[in-house]
Structure 1
Amino acid sequence: MNATDRTPADLLRSALAADPGRPLVTFYDDATGERVELSVATFANWVAKTANLLQGDLAAEPGDRLALLLPAHWQSAVWLLACSSVGVVADVQGDPAGADLVVSGPDTLDRARSCRGERVALALRPLGGRFPRPPEGFADYAVEVPGQGDRFAPFAPVDPDGPALAVGGVTLTASQLVARAREDAAELGLLPGSRLLTGRTYDDWAGLSAGLFAPLAAGASVVLCRHLGQLDEDGLAARIESERVTGRAV
């Protein structure tokens, strides 16, 4: 990654320029058996489409606060980078009533309805599937995102010193987030090409860093596992071998 990268969106652009075909996020849900692998290029395409949805259809502006009510999931990672691309503050598990817009999984829809702004719901089904019946009062992400553009350009440059992420009562600017991600990557021993397996949630910085930001900052990749506790020791060992895991954060 480039030393001049100051936002998570910068890190993604550098990863795309360096090696677009390498894996970036490999996601498992051990409750459903789902496995999804996204290369840097595929992940960046999802981010571009989501950022276009956010900036265009949802009319989000830099500095707006988005309550992100999602678990550790590949689509959650996409939304985190889309927010960074637009300059929107991703308020992880934040209060929807105080947010400008909300993005919710299927288990937090009632809570998300307290948001007076735009509401987006994710079914979190395999292959990014849509809801069988869209929840009332929400746009179905799986319906809205496919038609968005594959390239994204922000209406205004993202300020690296502006707020980017709120989690656990702490708000980080984009540049602070990148600096912390680099520090964590060093502590985790991540190098370009490393494969980090994590079963941490996306409810705190440690989970967000291991599950996305630190591998991205290091030019590494993440094997992001939801419901990892459902695997027995043999299953975990088999995954570590099959995914060529070089480090763990569980």
Structure 2
Amino acid sequence: MNATDRTPADLLRSALSADPARPLVTFYDDATGERVELSVATFANWVAKTANLLQDEWSAEPGERVALLLPAHWQTAVWLLACSSVGVIADVGGDAAAADHVVAGPGQFDAGLACSGDRIALSLAPLGRRFPTPPAGYADYAVEVPTHGDHFQAYAPVDPEAPALIVAGAEYTGAEVVERARADAPGLDLTGPGSRLLSARPYDTWEGLSAGLYAPLSIGGSVVLCRHLDQLGEDALAKRIESERVTATAR
């Protein structure tokens, strides 16, 4: 990664420039048996489409707040980086009533209706499938996002010193996210490019977000993001660690 990277979106751009084909996020859901692997290029494409949705369809502007009512999931990681690309604040698990826009997953649709702005629902089903019928009051992310462009250009430069993330009641600027992620990397045994961290931490704390996305991204590594890992036996976990070439774990 480059020393000049000041926002999470900068880190993604540097990763894309360095090696677009390498894995960035590998996601497992041990309740469903799902496995999804996204290269840097594929992940960046999802981020670009989602950022274009935010900017062009929702007319989201820097400083607006997007409540992300989502668990640790590869699509949540996409939304976090899309928010950074546009300059809006990603409020993880935030109050929908205080947000300008809301992104909700299963179990959170009722809470998300408190938002008077744009609302979009994610099924979080394997392969990002559409809803048979979207929840009332929501657009379906799987229907909306494919129509948006594969490249993103912000209308205004993103200020690294502006608020970018809220999690567990704490607010961070884009620059602080990058600085904290880099500082966390040694303690997570992330030594540099090629490091591969298996994280089972939820996304509702800084520690979960750092291990599950930001810290690996900040040093040119990758993450194996596991949901419902408690349903996997120790022998199966050991095989996963070996097969995925995991170099460190955060549980």
AA aligned to 1:214 is A
- Between the aligned partners of 2:91 and 2:133, the Cα distance in structure 1 is 27
- Between the aligned partners of 1:207 and 1:149, the Cα distance in structure 2 is 30
Matched, 1:239 2:240: yes
Counterpart in the other structure of 1:188: 188
AA aligned to 2:45 is N
Instruction: Output the aligned Cα RMSD.
Output: 0.5
* Structure 1 segment 174-213 matched on structure 2, within 5 A: 174-190=174-190, 191-213=192-214
Secondary structure at 2:146 match in 1: coil
Given the two structures, how large is their TM-score scaled by the length of structure 2? 0.99
* Structure 1 segment 53-132 matched on structure 2, within 5 A: 53-132=53-132
- Between the aligned partners of 1:188 and 1:167, the Cα distance in structure 2 is 20
- Between the aligned partners of 2:129 and 2:100, the Cα distance in structure 1 is 26
AA aligned to 1:207 is G
Counterpart in the other structure of 1:18: 18
- Between the aligned partners of 2:218 and 2:72, the Cα distance in structure 1 is 18
Counterpart in the other structure of 1:223: 224
The CA deviation at 1:106 is 1.6
Secondary structure at 1:90 match in 2: strand
AA aligned to 1:240 is I
- Between the aligned partners of 2:98 and 2:61, the Cα distance in structure 1 is 16
AA aligned to 1:167 is V
Secondary structure at 2:185 match in 1: helix
Counterpart in the other structure of 1:172: 172
- Between the aligned partners of 2:188 and 2:36, the Cα distance in structure 1 is 24
Secondary structure at 1:223 match in 2: strand
Ranges in structure 2 where 5+ consecutive residues have no aligned partner: none
AA aligned to 2:219 is A
The CA deviation at 1:247 is 0.3
- Between the aligned partners of 1:210 and 1:223, the Cα distance in structure 2 is 10
- Between the aligned partners of 2:9 and 2:186, the Cα distance in structure 1 is 20
The CA deviation at 1:186 is 2.1
AA aligned to 2:40 is V
The CA deviation at 1:189 is 2.3
Overall identity of the aligned pairs, in %: 72
Secondary structure at 1:229 match in 2: helix
AA aligned to 1:103 is V
Report Cα offsets for 1:73-113 as digits up to 9, x if no partner. Answer: 00000000000000000000000000001000021000000
The CA deviation at 1:185 is 1.0
AA aligned to 2:101 is L
AA aligned to 1:210 is A
- Between the aligned partners of 1:13 and 1:126, the Cα distance in structure 2 is 27
AA aligned to 1:72 is A
Secondary structure at 2:223 match in 1: strand
- Between the aligned partners of 2:49 and 2:106, the Cα distance in structure 1 is 21
